[in-house]
Structure 1
Amino acid sequence: MTNRQSPTGISGFPVSPFDENGNIDEKALTVNIEFLLDEGLESIFIACGAGEFHNLSNEEFESVVKLASSVVEGKVPFYTGVGGNLTEALEKAKISEKYGADGYLILPPYLIEGEQEGIYEYYRAIVTSTDLNAILYQRANAVLQLETLKRLLDFPQVVGLKDGIGNMEMNIEFTQEIGARLGWLNGMPMAEVTMPAYLSLGYKCYSSAISNYIPHISRKFYDALLNDDSQTVNEIFENVILPINRIRRKRKGYAVALIKAGMEIVGLPVTNTVRPPVTPVEKEHYEELKQILTRALEKYPSNKVSI
């Protein structure tokens, strides 16, 4: 019987590393996933936003899902990213099922901003295409209203909602009206920044970009948040989270590119290489990030990464 539980805790979103020829670097991806598992992240989401989902061919998508499935091996919940073009989303849902994923995160449809009925039909088509768990992603051109969301709850596959909008009035309405029927995931850019606000609404999971290179700090932050240790929370905000977030906001696409830069800085086998329209982190910003991480690792040392 399928476990209809949405992930909780800190979710890992591996990148899609590229080699010198621009192809998927499977060895680097394996290291990325193993690193996240070794650091105790509670779930793995492959080929999503951080994994440049929008730029992977179906063949590449299948190769990374197959690889990730073999590395995760059921240790934690394993999800994929599907969405965009509906036909391709349905194909990727079947690929996810083929390789034993627990479910998928449904990203927005391509470009078009549909009416609520259109968004409902988009989600419905993907949700019902397999028996896998489905997490709906609120962002960009796919924003559900309460009544539309309630209609989708008729499908048992729908286990969670991930918010990337930041409309707290909407989040309060959703969590109050729906409660424990759904798992609630914080998917805001650099989710640590907003997690204190989301936690109080019942959001028990968040996607952590910085966990790809400093997961021990993300864990220390979240533990402090759960234990009402405001001093530690404030220190990590001041020394790590807010400085990195200020760099992230300097260029479009840094939500992805900055992860790869951070991984390269701490010695993981991932280069600062992305696919257009995302651009690599500029040298000046790269050096800023390196200084922040150097100070962070001096204050919060790790036996897994160093500079």
Structure 2
Amino acid sequence: MNTKRKAPKGILGFPIAPFSENNKLDEQKLAQNIQFLLDEGLEAIFVACAAGEYPSLSKEEYEAMVEVAVSVTAGKVPVYTGVGGNIQTSLELARISADKGAEGYLILPPYLVPGETAGQAAYFKTIAESTDLNAIVYQRDNLSLSVATLEVLADVPQVVGVKDGLGNMELNTLLTQTFGDRFSWLNGMPLAEVTMPAYVPLGFESYSSAISNYIPHISRKFYSAVLEGDQEVVHDIYKHVILPINNIRCQRKGYAVSLIKAGMEIMGMPVGQTVRLPILPVEKGHYAEMEAILEKVLERFPKEKTIQSI
């Protein structure tokens, strides 16, 4: 179905899964989240992934999220979905993604049992070859990719990219220098702005930005400064935005998700803080810290203008 064998470049949008107080998916708020990311010029939408609490979604909710994303984007930017974990469920969700009109999917690693190298390669290969969509493989948590694994996947045309969530720069150097532009390279570290300046020289051309859900103009300003070598701006944003927010994110497990929702709520976006177990909402003290940081951020880095919808 899709002959464009290239992963998206630039800043990638990962919308959250807005839940109502009675724990129901709020499709209207999801559509607003996605439209906001489009209006801010993000280069792709990755829906129902980790930021979208993918492991907690029912099949019906997953289908709804993909439908909303495809409808709102209307072909303006690529839509990727999240699949992974259970191999049988992954194959089913891959088919749903294809049926609903997504351009590709991000394949998360299997959990609990990482498997041998050959098993890992077969896992990604089986999912990637199950449809004609583009596939990006994601190393994180209990799975570390190897040259042997990527040698297998290099022969699978559907596999267009590799996303890193481990932060092992020795491994990243080995993989990028071995395979070069056969794959696109994506930075998927939590709060990827923290590490992106170190990733760019290795050939990483895109990253997932959690803060783009609530202060996307900072994401854009920071990434532009990184690419232009403007160290003064990079340092300024590190000091006043990225590192303070990252310090809060590191305080509790699950904050990689719940802190996004807190930031959106603080910035006046109608999503609320409701998250699904085992993730917990941001604690009141940390929420207050986040409010203070964002107030100072907007004073120091005011949004200059609204980017028109692409």
TM-score range, shorter chain: over 0.9
1:58-107 deviation per Cα after TM superposition (whole angstroms, max 9, x unaligned): 11100110111000111011100000111110010001001111100000
- Structure 1 residue 162: deviation in Å? 0.2
Give a deviation string over 1:109-159, Cα, whole Å, max 9, x none.
132121111111111110110010000001112222111111111110000
Distance 1:188 1:67 in 2: 26
Aligned to 2:81: 80
Structure 1 counterpart of 2:18: 17
| Residue matched to 2:234 | 233
SS at match of 2:46: strand
Residues 1-307 of structure 1 aligned to structure 2 (within 5 Å): 2-302=3-303
Counterpart Cα distance in 1 of 2:111 and 2:230: 42
Assess if the C-alpha contact under 8 Å between 1:114 and 1:141 holds in 2.
Answer: no
What's the Cα RMSD here?
Answer: 0.9
Distance 1:240 1:110 in 2: 33
Tell whether the 8 Å contact from 1:212 to 1:259 is kept in structure 2 after alignment: yes
Partner-residue secondary structure (3-state), 2:109: strand
SS at match of 1:200: helix
Structure 2 Cα separation of the partners of residues 193 and 269 of structure 1: 27
The residue type equivalent to 2:292 in the other structure is Q
Whether the 8 Å contact between 2:117 and 2:148 is mirrored in structure 1 is no
For the residues of structure 1 that align with 2:79 and 2:264, how far apart are their CA atoms? 22
**2:114 counterpart letter in structure 1:** E
SS across alignment from 1:267: coil
Taking only the aligned residue pairs, the percentage that are identical comes to 61
Unaligned runs of 5+ in 2: none
Letter in 2 for 1:70: S
Aligned residue pairs total: 304
**Which stretch has the larger CA shift, 240-249 or 104-113?**
104-113
Contact kept in structure 1, 2:63 and 2:96, CA below 8 Å: yes
Amino acid at match of 1:49: A
Q: Deviations over 1:34-66 (max 9, x none)?
A: 000000000110000100001001111001101
| Structure 1 counterpart of 2:235, one-letter code | N
1:208 partner letter: S
TM-score, normalising length from structure 2? 0.97
Q: Is the 8 A contact 2:19 2:26 kept in 1?
A: yes
Whether the 8 Å CA contact 1:103–1:132 is kept in 2: the answer is yes
Alpha-carbon contact 2:84-2:109 (below 8 Å) kept: yes
Residue pair 1:94, 1:130 contacting (<8 A) in 2 also: yes
Residue 229 of structure 1, CA deviation: 0.7
Amino acid at match of 1:51: G
Q: What secondary structure is seen at the aligned counterpart in 2 of 1:273?
A: coil
Shift of 1:254: 0.2
Residue 295 (structure 1) shift: 0.4
User: What is the alpha-carbon distance in structure 2 between the residues aligned to residue 222 and residue 148 of structure 1?
Assistant: 30
Q: Which amino acid aligns with 1:272?
A: Q
Give the AA of the match of 1:68.
A
Q: Quick one: distance in 2 between partners of 1:64 and 1:147?
A: 35
| Code of the aligned partner of 1:29 | L
State the one-letter code of the partner of 1:236.
Answer: I
- 1:91 is matched by which residue type in structure 2? E
TM-score if structure 1 supplies the norm length? 0.98
